């Protein structure tokens, strides 16, 4: 996590949304959008908060889906149409969707720069790790509460009210889902009362990084 995101998160935790916005108001990456949404919720602008959190959710899940699709196709390439269908949940691909995919590929290139390179091929894109092999550690989530798990998968702590805004549902519905996920050992609560936040439970024995570029056992 970069210093501005950390500073904004600390400001929100301390109840200072204006200070948080000063750190991230000009940024449109997924963590910044999420923090901006929470800040707007604290300021009482729920409509703006909901819009920002939905943008954050799309940004988080799109990049992860593109990364997973590339990893699953490795050592081959992932077709452009497949990437678009999975990342944007579309069946009919248009030129505007190809432009959106190029934007996401650019963001992913930057995020993976220390670990891998992304190359355009005739039919799509190919992941090339700098060292070792590629393993997909995050399995697709098949759970009726998958949208909540998707929000928590980035490692950030979310309040139930912020999740409700992002999902466009009631806080009571979200709280019931969080309680069910906590009972199943999939999420954990931090803090008490209005300061309570929720995070995804760590998977024992595995890194939380989506991709692992290192020699595999027996490989």
pLDDT per residue as tens digits for the range 123-158: 999 988 888 777 665 545 455 787 788 777 666 788
The per-residue pLDDT of the chain, averaged, comes to 79
Domain that holds residue 105: 63-132
Q: Is residue 107 part of a domain?
A: yes
Mean pLDDT, range 65-86, rounded to an integer: 87
Structural domain total, the chain = 1
Q: Is residue 94 part of a domain?
A: yes
Q: How many CB atoms neighbour CB 76 within 10 A?
A: 13
Q: Is residue 90 part of a domain?
A: yes
Stated pTM of the model: 0.48
Q: Is residue 10 part of a domain?
A: no
Q: Is residue 46 part of a domain?
A: no
pLDDT digits (tens, 9 = 90+) for 77-124: 999 888 888 777 666 777 788 888 888 888 888 888 888 888 999 999
**DSSP codes of every residue in 121-155:** -SSEEEEEESSSEEEE-SPPP-STTHHHHHHHTTS
Q: Is residue 106 part of a domain?
A: yes
How sure is the predictor about 212, in pLDDT bands with cuts at 50, 70 and 90?
A: very low
Q: Is residue 174 part of a domain?
A: no
Q: Is residue 186 part of a domain?
A: no
pLDDT, residue 213, reads 43
Q: Looking at per-residue confidence, does 61 or 119 come out higher?
A: 119
């Amino acid at each position: 996590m970069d210093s501005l995101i950390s500073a904004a998160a600390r400001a929100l935790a301390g109840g200072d949304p204006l200070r948080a916005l000063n750190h991230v108001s000009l940024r449109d990456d997924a963590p910044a959008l999420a923090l901006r949404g929470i800040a707007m919720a604290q300021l009482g602008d729920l409509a703006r908060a909901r819009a920002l959190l939905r943008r954050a959710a799309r940004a988080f899940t799109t990049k992860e889906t593109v990364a997973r699709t590339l990893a699953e196709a490795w050592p081959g390439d992932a077709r452009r149409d497949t990437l678009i269908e999975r990342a944007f949940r579309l069946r009919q691909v248009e030129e505007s969707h190809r432009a959106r995919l190029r934007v996401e590929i650019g963001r992913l290139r930057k995020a993976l720069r220390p670990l891998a390179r992304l190359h355009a091929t005739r039919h799509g894109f190919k992941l090339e790790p700098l060292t070792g092999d590629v393993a997909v550690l995050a399995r697709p989530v098949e759970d009726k509460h998958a949208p909540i798990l998707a929000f928590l998968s980035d490692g950030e702590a979310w309040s139930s009210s912020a999740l409700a805004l992002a999902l466009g549902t009631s806080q009571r519905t979200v709280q019931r889902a969080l309680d069910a996920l906590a009972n199943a050992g999939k999420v954990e609560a931090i803090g008490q009362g209005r300061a309570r936040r929720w995070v995804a439970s760590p998977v024992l024995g595995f890194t939380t990084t989506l991709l692992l570029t290192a020699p595999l056992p027996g490989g």
